[in-house]
Structure 1
């Protein structure tokens, strides 16, 4: 449980394990309607992004970005694959999506609840904080993920 008193649904960690085993490309989490539990909102499976038939990385990433709401906060995990000339690499990225135009109360709850989810997901390589789409653009995340290859 986080310092805000928000808990995790039973599916949060098992979904992350599926992502680590390459069965999912991404997971988007949100707070339940009563703001007491972090729950799954969407996965790459909902977009038909199964790992055995993935589109190009940039296309998969665009589908992920399209699933983030413009006016509300979310947490997300993305298995970010890239090639920087030394062969394919993959980094699991944890996103805290808190757009500038989201309600202040939502930003506060998401901010104070993040640590509970983040600690439960062992194996995250990179954390990305996004307040607008430029901060989560493919090239921006590529730069952060490729540091310290």
Structure 2
């Protein structure tokens, strides 16, 4: 099921800068106020993982990409482009449905994602959980 939501071109422009030039550490996307398109809410050129998590609202859905750095034993520093579908249990039902049905609109246009994380509460997006997923994926 698709929601008919479009993706604002700025989302893709920032994502290209994020992916190719490593200009951003993360970008957070949300549905526009009229719910017609996905727009950039926030982006940061630097910041820790905790900084990023603090930008995710506790009771509203968001999408995000994060350049996840980690150490792989025997291989050194690695980094993976991680896509987040943040749909907290505490969000309104209508919001949850809209975000769930609109996810593919943006997900399909962000080429080069290595990992996808679905979060319904903060334990599912904590550093250890994502680190485990990053380490498992080749």
Q: Could you tell me how far 1:18 is from its partner in structure 2?
A: 1.0
Residue equivalent to 2:63: 75
**TM-score with structure 1 setting the length:** 0.88
Is 101-110 or 14-23 further displaced after alignment?
A: 14-23
* Count of residues in Structure 1 that have an aligned counterpart in Structure 2: 136
Unaligned 5+ residue runs, structure 2?
Answer: none
1:9 aligns with 2:8: yes
Tell me which stretches of 4 or more aligned residues in structure 1 moved more than 4 Å: none
Residue equivalent to 2:103: 114
Q: Could you tell me how far 1:148 is from its partner in structure 2?
A: 3.0
Q: How far, CA to CA, are the matches of 2:117 and 2:106 in structure 1? A: 14
Q: How does 1:1-149 map to 2 (within 5 A)?
A: 3-20=2-19, 21-45=21-45, 49=46, 60-85=48-73, 86-149=75-138
Unaligned 5+ residue runs, structure 1?
Answer: 50-54
Name the structure with the higher helix share: 1
Q: Could you tell me how far 1:84 is from its partner in structure 2?
A: 2.1
Name the structure with the higher strand share: 2
Q: How far, CA to CA, are the matches of 1:139 and 1:84 in structure 2? A: 14
Q: How far, CA to CA, are the matches of 1:64 and 1:147 in structure 2? A: 22
**TM-score with structure 2 setting the length:** 0.95
Q: How far, CA to CA, are the matches of 1:140 and 1:115 in structure 2? A: 23
Matched position secondary structure for 1:129:
strand
